[in-house]
Amino acid sequence: MIELYCFGESVTTFKAALPRALAGLAWRPVHVDFFRGGARTPEYRAINPMGEVPALIEGDTVITQSGAIQDWITARTGRFGSQMEAERREVLRWVLWDNSRMSGLAGPRRFLMNFAPEETRHAPVIDWLGGRLAASLSVLDAHLAGRDWIVGEGPTNADLSCCGYLFYSEPFGFDRAAHAAIDAWLDRIAALPGWRHPYDLMDRALPGPAADRRPA
């Protein structure tokens, strides 16, 4: 059985869990109590020395980082990649773009606005991240105008990477109504067989709202 070490608020974990669910691979979530230091324990660092989630384990195989896990799922199932070399590189281009230009901006902004202690929520930093994120959202919205998927004729890891933050409800500067092409694209992803909302898809064992859980 595939195990995925995760927690519901983790977008990187969602980006690894979603293709697994869509591909129909059997797996079980293993909750990591991230907000109370669960990713920094010696036991977890023995699995992932980077102290991050997600981590996938199947037998002796251990894979970390959502993009690497997505690539493993594609190799296992033949889904969400491309047999065409040019399209394969284009998928990789958008996965890398997401890591730096979407997730790399939305992640710290969402954290500061929702999970960080009040005294660390520096408005100038939040505003700067918001401006950069708005530019990235405009790039994605323009690219999706007139097309169903980011690359090719069906969903790929490009879609499953770039959509990650956009399904979460905590405020971080994304307004679906202001991005018509992104809005329609998210509806198409959510209509895929096996799709589930991130908080439904992953184990969320801790009680209480996410905003009440602060980093240890």
Sequence-distant (6+) residues with CB within 8 A of 190 are: 167
Domain boundaries, the chain: 2-79+196-212, 85-190
Nearest to 22 by CA among 75, 96, 61, 77: 77
Band (pLDDT 50/70/90 cuts) for residue 21 is very high
pLDDT tens for residues 31-84?
999 989 999 999 999 999 999 999 999 999 999 999 999 999 999 999 999 889
User: Strand, helix or coil at 156?
Assistant: coil
Q: What angle do CA 166, 167, 171 make, to 5 degrees?
A: 70
Q: What is the H or E stretch that residue 28 is in?
A: strand 27-31
- Report pLDDT for 1: 86
Give the pLDDT confidence score for residue 211 in this predicted structure: 43
For domain 2-79+196-212, give its CATH number from 3.30.930.10, 3.40.30.10, 3.40.190.10, 3.40.50.1820: 3.40.30.10
Q: What pTM was computed for the model?
A: 0.92
pLDDT digits (tens, 9 = 90+) for 79-95: 999 889 999 999 999 99
CB within 8 A of 33, min separation 6: which ones?
Answer: 7, 205, 206
Tokens 């590189």, residue?
89
Output the CA torsion 132→133→135→141 (10° steps).
170
Helices (H), the chain: 11-23, 42-45, 66-77, 85-97, 103-114, 123-144, 157-162, 180-190, 198-201
Q: Report the SS3 class of residue 64.
A: strand
Enter the CATH code of domain 85-190.
1.20.1050.10
